């Protein structure tokens, strides 16, 4: 009976979000309370369970997501992201333009949230399409594949960060493993698959025609290449540095290890990056502190709903734990003859196909898979990445990204399924295979 209640709760959550179009946060909250009642949690304990669930998950990641949003916003507003993209295209040349676009999407996608990166890079894609007279989908899909992969695998994106906290994984190791998993997924789903799409035509003639602006026409100067790259990638450099550094310092040097643990904390890393960006992309570019703070304020508004969705998933997780269902689920899932990483991918992929949102799918699956991760002994960093890979699967008509790609590129539903949906399936499958390969090595 307990498992039927859990399945019905998940089904109700999917129906509420997908078909009734109820906000994901409200859906999580309502379904969690109904599940708590059905699972026998005393009524007087339910309010405190809700509050505890929100507090437990938000306490570990609110600052990281908020600071990440601020960094992404100022990188976009300052022109640094466009600068990075232009430099990468010049570096790879016309012959290897697809590879240049994929690499650009990867570099820009690390600090930028997917929606911001998409809207920012699509005009660049079309400017290159017009300049070199190449098919838009053929050129654009590798870049968007890279954006999608970073969204699913790499901190400081909301879903990977939330999963790291939920599974008590290591942010630095997840980042390193995530990059290793992302590379083959991008290569196969981007440039290699993109070669088969030359004949797909975009009907948006004249869309995003490039307009050349000289330096004097802009209120603020565009940051140089050094500032753009260093500022965008600083969190990545610092997280990797402070993850690797302890291995080169004697264990007896406690003070040095304390300093590294402090500086290597994801929150401190993001704070350092924000201070650095405020100077390099803000003050040094002629922006007042007040202007920079306004940019940061807008960034927080942009991700407010994402934070609420994550908070809602925390409530559902807490209900599962308080009721004791998590332990029962773990015991029964372990009896299945399926590798935990494959099971995690499969459950997440099914939920993604139902709800359309990668973030919601990952967090919903995590609430069910958390006890399995703790009892199976699987590496929590790999569990995060397996769920991340599954969250990219089955992108179709209930996914906002599907329609953004269709409308921006002027495609039919058939061509969107053939290009976008297949690309998402490829990066999800290759991502899982890469995670399984890593599980053999580590």
Distance CA 343, CA 106 (A): 28
Position 262 confidence tier, pLDDT thresholds 50, 70, 90: very high
pLDDT digits (tens, 9 = 90+) for 279-298: 999 998 888 999 999 999 98
Distance CA 318, CA 32 (A): 9
Cα-based angle 380, 378, 376 (whole degrees, multiple of 5): 120
Give the pLDDT confidence score for residue 211 in this predicted structure.
41
Position 145 confidence tier, pLDDT thresholds 50, 70, 90: very high
Residues 6+ apart with CB under 8 A from 168: 380
Give the pLDDT confidence score for residue 331 in this predicted structure.
63
* Average of per-residue pLDDT across 38-42: 91
Give the pLDDT confidence score for residue 155 in this predicted structure.
82
* Average of per-residue pLDDT across 409-437: 93
pLDDT digits (tens, 9 = 90+) for 97-118: 899 889 888 887 887 767 667 7
Residue 329 has pLDDT above 70, yes or no: no
* Average of per-residue pLDDT across 203-220: 49
Position 60 confidence tier, pLDDT thresholds 50, 70, 90: low
Token pair recorded at residue 327: 């332990």
Candidate from 77-86, 173-182, 202-211 with smallest mean pLDDT: 202-211
Give the chain's mean pLDDT: 84
Reported as half-sphere exposure (CB side, CA atoms, 13 A), residue 182 has a value of: 28
Q: What percent of the chain has pLDDT over 90?
A: 29
pLDDT digits (tens, 9 = 90+) for 114-140: 766 776 677 677 767 777 788 889 989
Highest mean pLDDT among 56-60, 242-246, 430-434: 430-434
Q: In this structure, are residues 389 and 150 in contact, taking their beta carbons and an 8 Å threshold?
A: no
């Amino acid at each position: 009976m307990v498992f039927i209640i859990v399945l019905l709760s998940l089904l109700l959550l999917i129906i509420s979000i997908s078909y009734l179009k109820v906000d994901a946060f409200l859906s999580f909250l309502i379904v969690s309370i109904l599940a708590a009642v059905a699972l026998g949690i005393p009524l007087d304990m339910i309010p405190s369970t809700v509050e505890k669930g929100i507090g437990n998950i938000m306490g570990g990641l609110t600052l990281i997501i908020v600071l990440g949003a601020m960094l992404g916003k100022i990188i976009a507003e300052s022109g640094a992201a466009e600068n990075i993209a232009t430099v990468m295209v010049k570096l790879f040349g016309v012959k290897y333009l697809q590879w240049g676009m994929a690499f650009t999407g990867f570099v820009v996608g690390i600090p930028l949230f997917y929606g911001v990166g998409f809207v920012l890079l699509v005009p660049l894609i079309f400017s290159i399409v017009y300049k070199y007279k190449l098919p838009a989908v053929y050129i654009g899909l590798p870049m968007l594949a890279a954006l999608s992969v970073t969204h699913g695998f790499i901190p400081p994106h909301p879903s990977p960060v939330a999963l790291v906290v939920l599974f008590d994984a290591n942010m630095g190791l997840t980042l390193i493993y995530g990059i290793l998993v992302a590379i083959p997924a991008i290569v196969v789903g981007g440039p290699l698959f993109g070669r088969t799409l030359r004949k797909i035509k975009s009907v948006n003639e004249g869309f995003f025609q490039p307009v050349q602006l000289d330096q004097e026409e802009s209120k603020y100067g565009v940051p140089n290449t050094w500032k753009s790259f260093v500022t965008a990638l600083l969190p990545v450099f610092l997280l990797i540095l402070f993850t690797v550094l302890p291995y080169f310092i004697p264990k007896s040097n406690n003070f040095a290890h304390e300093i590294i643990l402090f500086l290597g904390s994801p929150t401190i890393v993001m704070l350092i990056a924000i201070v650095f960006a405020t100077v390099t992309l803000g003050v040094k570019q002629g922006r007042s502190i007040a202007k920079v703070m306004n940019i940061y304020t807008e960034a927080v508004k942009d991700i407010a709903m994402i934070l609420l969705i994550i908070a809602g998933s925390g409530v559902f997780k807490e209900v599962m734990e308080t009721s004791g269902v998590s332990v029962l689920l773990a015991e029964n899932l372990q009896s299945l003859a399926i590798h935990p990483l494959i099971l995690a991918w499969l459950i997440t992929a099914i939920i993604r196909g139902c709800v359309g949102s990668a973030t919601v799918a990952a967090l919903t699956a995590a609430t069910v898979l958390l006890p399995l991760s703790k009892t199976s002994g699987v590496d929590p960093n790999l569990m995060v990445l397996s769920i991340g890979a599954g969250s990219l699967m089955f992108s179709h008509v209930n996914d906002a990204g599907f329609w953004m790609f269709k409308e921006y590129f002027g495609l039919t539903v058939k061509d969107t399924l053939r290009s976008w949906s297949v690309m998402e399936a490829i990066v999800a499958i290759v991502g899982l295979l890469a995670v399984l390969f890593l599980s053999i090595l580590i």
